[in-house]
Amino acid sequence: MVQMSPTGGSSKLALNNLEYILEASTNEVADVVVHSAFSEQKWVWLEDKDEGYLPGQIVSGSQNQQSVQVALNDGKRQTCMLTISTGPNVEDAAQLTYLNEASVVQNLRLRYLSNKIYTYSALFLVAVNPFQSLPMYSDETVALYKNKRRGELPPHIFAAADQAYHDMIRNNENQSILITGESGAGKTESTKRVIQYLTTIASDQKIGKLEQQILQANPILEAFGNAQTVRNKNSSRFGKFIRIAFSLGGTICGAHIDYYLLEKSRVHHQSQKERNYHIFYQLLSADDEMKASLLLEGKLSDYRYLKDSSRVIEGVDDSLELQKTMVCAQDAFLRPNDPY
Ligand SMILES: Nc1ncnc2c1ncn2[C@@H]1O[C@H](COP(=O)(O)OP(=O)(O)OP(=O)(O)O)[C@@H](O)[C@H]1O
C-alpha cells in the first residue's frame, strides 16, 4: 500500500533519459518516492513506508506534461507531479545513486555539455566524442597528469595511459589498453593521445621526437586502410595493434604496428555516400608525369571500382594527401634500419 500524507515531499523518477523530481502536491502523495525506470516499459519503483518498494508502471504522461499516472500492482493509480531536474554529474558512473541506463546516459550527457568528455565507469574510461578541438591535450596537461593517482584529477585519457605506464614499471608486466567503440566514436584519436602521453613522459631526449616518428606511419596506413563512410570521413577500415617497447629504465626503445581485418569488400563495392580507399583518389589526383609512370589514365568516372562512389571529401585535398603519403613512403624506404 502506498502511504498518503497531507504534507509535501519530493521524489525522483528516471524517464526517457531525463531525471525528474516528483513533487507531491498538498493533498496527494507524500512519502511516495519513484526512484527509477528499470526497463523500457517505464516501470518504476515507488518507495513505501510499510512495504519498502512497490513496482508501478507509468500509464500516462510525458516529458511535456506536469504529471504522470503510475499504476501499482494492486490496481491503484497514483498521480505524481513532475519537475525536470538537471540530474547527476559525477566523475565515476559507479558513484551514481541509482545505476540504470537512463542515469548513466544523463550523467554522460550533462558532463559532455560542459565539455567534460571523459567519465570513469569503475575500471573503464568512457570518452564522448566532442567533434571539436578542446584545449585539453597540451604539454602542460601531460605534466599535470604525470604520476597522479586516479581520482586526484578529473577523468582523462592521460590518466588511463599513466596508470598503464606505472603498472608496467611497478609490476614489471606488459600492459594493454583496449580502445573500443562504434565507427566515428574517437578510437583513433584516443590512440594518438595515449601515444602522445607515453612518448612525452617516457622518451629519452636524445632519441628525438618519438611521437612524431610513431605517428609518421599514419599517412601511409590511412591511405591504404582508411576511407570515407557515412559516419566518419576518415574511417579506419582495419584493426591496429600498436606495441610500444620500453627499456627496464622505463624509456621507450621501439614501436611496432600490426594490422588485421582489412575491409576488403570496400575495394569493389561502396555505397554512393562512401568512398573506396583514399589511395585510389590520391593517385588519380597526381600530376600527369606521375600518372603516366603508374600507367594511370583517365578520370575517376573511367574506373569501375570508383565511378559509383562519392568523389570528394569536404575539406580534404587528395593531391595534398598524396604528397603526405609519398613523404611517408619515401621515409620508410630511405631509413629501412631505423628502429622506429
Ligand atoms: N577527443 C577528440 N577531440 C576532438 N575531436 C575528436 C576527438 N575524438 C574524435 N574526434 C573527431 O571525431 C572524428 C572521428 O574520430 P576517429 O577517427 O578517432 O573515430 P574512430 O572511432 O577511430 O572511427 P572508425 O572506427 O570509423 O575509424 C575525428 O576525425 C575527429 O574529428
**How do residues 170-226 score in pLDDT, each as one tens digit?**
999 999 999 999 999 999 999 999 999 999 999 866 555 677 777 788 899 999 999
Determine the residue of 117, 125, 131 to mutate for testing ligand 1's pocket, defined as the one with the most ligand atoms within 8 A of the Cβ atom: 131
Residue 40 DSSP class: T
Per the annotation, does 187 bind a ligand?
Answer: yes
Does the CB atom of residue 185 touch ligand 1 within 6 A?
yes
What are the residue ranges spanned by the domains of the chain?
Answer: 9-84, 115-201, 210-340
Task: Please tell me the CATH code under which domain 210-340 is placed.
Answer: 3.40.850.10
Which residue's CA lies nearest to atom 30 of ligand 1? 131
Per the annotation, does 285 bind a ligand?
Answer: no
Per the annotation, does 182 bind a ligand?
Answer: yes
Per the annotation, does 186 bind a ligand?
Answer: yes
Backbone φ and ψ of 259, nearest 5°: -125, 155
Amino acid code (one letter) for 27: N
d(CA 73, CA 3): 15
Contact at 8 Å (CB) between 15 and 85? no
Does the CB atom of residue 155 touch ligand 1 within 6 A?
no
Listed as ranges, residues in the chain with pLDDT below 70 are: 1-43, 46-47, 61-68, 81-87, 204-209, 332-340
Does the CB atom of residue 263 touch ligand 1 within 6 A?
no
The predicted structure's pLDDT at residue 66: 63
Ligand 1: centre distance to CA 249 (Å):
33
The predicted structure's pLDDT at residue 208: 55
- Beta-bridged to residue 29, according to DSSP, are 4
Per the annotation, does 119 bind a ligand?
Answer: no
Ligand 1: centre distance to CA 234 (Å):
8
Does the CB atom of residue 128 touch ligand 1 within 6 A?
no
Residue located via cell numbers 601515444: 195
Question: 307-315 contacts: CB < 8 A, separation 24 or more?
Answer: 308/270, 308/272, 309/270, 309/271, 309/272, 309/274, 309/275, 309/276, 310/228, 310/270, 310/272, 310/273, 310/274, 310/275, 311/275, 311/281, 313/228, 313/233, 313/234, 313/275, 314/233, 315/233
Residue located via cell numbers 601511409: 220
